[in-house]
A = this chain, B = another copy of it.
C-alpha cells in the first residue's frame, strides 16, 4: 500500500474496482480508511449512498455469535449472495486465542470469493470506533456485496453505539443469559430489532423469551421485535432469522429509521471532525504548565483551551 495521497479521480477508479469485486482493492480501501492514510477523505466523499443492509450482531461472550454468523453466511451464500463480515475485536493479547478460534471456525469461507472477512481492532479503550465502523461499512456498501454483517462482543456502551449504526441489530443470548438480560442497558433494548436465543435446545429458552418479550417497548416504524430461537450448530431457526432480517430491512428502507441512522452517523462524523485537532498530549503539556503555577479550575481551563486549540475548518 502506497502512502501517496489518493485524489478524487483515483478514488472513483477504486470504487469501480470494488464494485467489480476486486478483493485486494476492497482490502486496500478499508486499510486506507482504517488508518486514515493520505486522501482517505477523498475516497469517502466519492461514496454513493446505498441501501445494502448492514446487520449488527451482538451479545455476551459465549452466546455463539460466531457460529450463528457462520451458519447464516453459509445459508446466504447458498442463495448466491455475496457477504462481507466485519468482526470488531477488542485489542487484547490475552484473548487473541479465543478470537482466533472464532475466526478459524470461519476458515471454510476463506477461499470463497463471495465472502469477505475482516477483523477490526478497537485499539484499547477510548473513542473513535463508531466513526471507523461508519466509514468502513460505507466503503463496503460501495463494493459488490449484498449484505454486510458486523459482529461485536459484549453488551455494553460500545454495542449500543454500534447498534445505532447498523440497519438491523440482532442481539444474541443463550437460555442461561438471564443475568445479562436483567443488567442490559435500556439503550440496547430500544435499539435491538431482533432477539435470538441461541443454543435453544438447552433448558430455559422459553422462560428467557418470555422475560425479553415483556421488556420490549414500542419501536420506530411500528416494528414488532421478534424473539427467535436458534440452534446455530444444526441450523435450526435460521430461516426465521433470515425472514426477520429481510422483513426489518424493508421497514428500514421506507421508514423513519433510515433518517434516524443517517442522523446518528452525521453526529458521529461531526464529533470526529470537531475533536480531530484536540490531542491528549497537548492538553497534558498545557495542564502541567498551569499546575506549576498553582491551582487549576478545569472548567475555566477547558473553555480556554477549547477556543485556542484551532477549529475543525483548518483540516
A interface residue numbers (CB < 8 A to B): 41, 44-49, 60-62, 90-95, 98, 122, 124-126, 134, 138, 153-161, 164, 179-180, 182-191, 214-215, 259-260, 262-267, 269-271, 273-275, 278, 280, 283-284, 287-288, 291, 295-303, 305-307, 309, 311-313
Contacts and interface: CB of A to CB of B under 8 A. Distances in A.
A45 B182 contact: no
Given A164-B126, A186-B124, A283 B266 contact: yes
Contact of A185 (B90, B191, B269, B284): B90
Contacts of A306: 269-270, 273-274, 312
Contacts of A153: 183
B266 A301 contact: yes
B299 A182 contact: no
Contacts of A157: 125, 156-159, 161
A124 B190 contact: yes
A138 B302 CA distance: 14
Nearest to A212: B94
A273 B271 CA distance: 11
What are the 4 closest A-B residue pairs judged by CB atoms, nearest first?
A156-B156, A125-B187, A61-B183, A157-B157
Given A259-B291, A280-B264, A306-B312, A297 B47 contact: yes
B95 A126 contact: no
A214 B93 CA distance: 11
B296 A280 contact: no
Contacts of A298: 49, 134, 138, 262, 265-266, 269
Contacts of A48: 295, 297
B262 A61 contact: no
Contacts of A125: 157, 160-161, 164, 185-188, 190-191
A51 to B, nearest CB: 12
Contacts of A269: 298-299, 302-303, 306
A287 B262 contact: yes
B266 A184 contact: no
Given A125-B190, A155-B154, A274-B274, A45 B299 contact: yes
A45 B160 contact: no
A313 to B, nearest CB: 5
A78 B35 CA distance: 54
A44 B215 contact: no
A160 B157 CA distance: 10
A237 B154 CA distance: 30
Nearest to A123: B186
Contacts of A313: 307
Given A47-B297, A161-B126, A183 B264 contact: no
A94 to B, nearest CB: 5
A302 B95 contact: no
A162 B62 CA distance: 25
A288 B263 CA distance: 9
